Amino acid sequence: QKEVEQNSGPLSVPEGAIASLNCTYSDRGSQSFFWYRQYSGKSPELIMSIYSNGDKEDGRFTAQLNKASQYVSLLIRDSQPSDSATYLCAFSGSARQLTFGSGTQLTVLP
Amino acid sequence: GAVVSQHPSRVICKSGTSVKIECRSLDFQATTMFWYRQFPKQSLMLMATSNEGSKATYEQGVEKDKFLINHASLTLSTLTVTSAHPEDSSFYICSARPFAGTNNEQFFGPGTRLTVL
C-alpha cells in the first residue's frame, strides 16, 4: 500500500465551479498536512497547511482533514483558469520529512 | 517571507563533468534543507536531508558519493552532481524548513533543470 494515495486525475472543471481534490494516507502518526501547487516547469508552492481535524479556509481554498479516516482534501471555489496546475498533497510525521502524493492535474476550462 | 533561492536555474553540461547547485534561504535560517529530484510527469522524490554542520542523510538508492551535499551555514546548502551522465538529467529542487518554524512546513526553491549531454 502506498503511503499517500491521491486521485491522479486529470481533473477538468469549468470556470467558476468547485474543484475537489482528495488524498488518503496510511501513516496514523502523521501530524502535519500540506497542499502544494505546481505549475508546469516550476517548483511546488505551499498553498495550504492543516494540522487538526476539520476545515481550514483561506480565500477560495478550503482544506479538510479527517484523521480518523486518514483523509485530507482541498476544495477550490470559483475556480479560475489560473488555478490550472498539478496539486500535490503531502504529510509529515515523526521523521519531519514530507511524503508527497503523485499529484492531481487540474484544468479549469474558460 | 520564507523565500528560498536556487542557482543556477538551468545548466547544460557534458557527460563526465560535475555540476554544483546552490540553495539559499534568503530571509530565514534553516537548520534543515532537503534535496529532491523530479522527472517529467512524476512526483517529487526526496534524495537527501541536509543538516547544518553534519553529514547529509541520503534516501535509499541515492549514491552519496555521486550526489555530494554540503550544508555549510544556516542559509546555504549545495548539491554537487559528480561525473554527471545523461540519466542524471532532471529537475532538482531544494527546500528549506525554517529554524523557528513549527509543523514542518517546507518552502521550495525555484528548481534547477539539469541537462547532461
- In the chain, the amino acid numbered A3 is E
Interchain proximity B103–A43, CB inside 8 Å: no
Q: What's the pLDDT at B101?
A: 58
Which stretches of chain A sit within 8 Å of chain B by CB? 31-32, 34, 36, 42-46, 49, 51, 88, 92, 96-98, 100-103
**Length of chain B in terms of residues written:** 117
pLDDT digits (tens, 9 = 90+) for B56-96: 999 999 999 999 999 888 899 999 999 999 999 999 999 99
- Residues of chain A in contact with residue B104, where contact means CB-CB under 8 angstroms, are 31-32, 92, 96, 98
Q: Which of A18-27, B30-39, B58-67, B97-106 has the lowest mean pLDDT?
A: B97-106
| Cβ contacts from A onto B, under 8 A | 46
Interchain proximity A46–B111, CB inside 8 Å: no
CA distance A23 to B56: 30
* Average confidence score pLDDT of chain A: 91
Q: What's the pLDDT at A94?
A: 67
CA proximity to A92, closest of A49, A57, A44, A54: A49
Instruction: Dig out the grid coordinates for B67 from the structure.
Output: 550526489
Q: How many CB atoms lie within 10 A of CB B111?
A: 22
CA distance B56 to B37: 16
- Residue to mutate among A43, A56, A65, with most B CBs inside 10 A, is A43
CA distance B86 to B116: 5
CA proximity to B107, closest of B34, B49, B31: B34
B104 closest CB neighbour out of A42, A43, A96 = A96
Q: How far is CA B33 from the centre of its chain?
A: 8
Q: Looking at residues A17-29, what average pLDDT do you find?
A: 91
Q: State whether residue B7 is helix, strand or coil.
A: strand
